[in-house]
Amino acid sequence: MRTAYHGEVHRSDRIGWLRAAVLGANDGIVSTASLIIGVAASGAQRPAILLAGLAGLVGGALSMASGEFVSVSSQADAEKADLALERRELDTYPEGELHELTGIYIKRGLDAALAARVAEQLTAHDALAAHARDELGITPALRARPFQAAAASAVAFASGSLLPLALTALAPLDGLAVVVMAASLFALAVLGAAAARAGGAAPVRGALRVVGWSALAMLATALIGRLFES
């Protein structure tokens, strides 16, 4: 008798890269579009607007990369310190660490005898990995990677910035701010809906959430540009 395979699709493993990619691309579109709209609203000519947008792309991408690198490096340092402490405890007090691991499995629903056997077998296989995973919540898939996070954030930001920059180069100067705002908000709506769908949430809600805040940012910079109109 053939047993049908029951495949489940979980979304929790997407949270890390999805958050970084969406945040970077959103920031790229919103920051660069807002900057371009503000400068265009002041009555500046196309070269000045493009220069401002390009500066926003470079500065924003590097800022995202450095911020992500510092943040994830701090996480990586904490993980290394925790693992070093756990390694020392395993070397100096292995019985106590085995008892601690047994207690973790008991709290998760195993009876005492089975929890003790599981703890013993996992300790014999790789004690540090067992404690890292089940006591500290550190797994290879979720380990902090500062350089990877920094590069991903920079690329995502730059990719998002390309849309308003391309529109600035191609759209008529008259009404440039309106074109950039409309196209950027549409792209943000699509991105927000796609991210929400990938995360298992309602696409419309995700789109409205990102569009609302982004429109507010663009209108604010347009108002500032108007105040300093040449």
pLDDT digits (tens, 9 = 90+) for 21-64: 677 888 999 999 999 999 999 999 999 999 999 999 999 999 98
Average pLDDT over residues 138-156: 80
Tell me which residue range forms the domain holding 19: 15-227
- The answer to whether the CB of 35 falls within 8 A of the CB of 220 is no
Q: How far apart, in whole angstroms, are the C-alpha atoms of residue 21 and residue 158? A: 11
Q: Domain for residue 7, yes or no? A: no
User: Which residue, among 56, 37, 65, 85, has the nearest Cα to 221 in the 3D structure?
Assistant: 37
Confidence at residue 142, expressed as pLDDT on a 0 to 100 scale: 65
Confidence at residue 41, expressed as pLDDT on a 0 to 100 scale: 92
Q: How far apart, in whole angstroms, are the C-alpha atoms of residue 28 and residue 56? A: 9
Average pLDDT over residues 93-121: 90
The pLDDT tens digits of the residues spanning 64-99 come to: 889 888 988 888 888 889 889 889 989 899 898 889
Calculate the average pLDDT of the chain.
Answer: 85
Q: Domain for residue 42, yes or no? A: yes
Confidence at residue 2, expressed as pLDDT on a 0 to 100 scale: 47
Number of domains in the chain: 1
Confidence at residue 3, expressed as pLDDT on a 0 to 100 scale: 47
Q: Domain for residue 71, yes or no? A: yes
Label residues 185-199 b or e (16+ Cβ within 10 Å = b). bebbbebbbebbebe
Entry pTM: 0.73
**Looking at per-residue confidence, does 103 or 201 come out higher?**
103
Count CB-CB contacts under 10 A for residue 5.
5
In percent, the amount of the chain with pLDDT more than 70 equals 88
Q: Domain for residue 3, yes or no? A: no
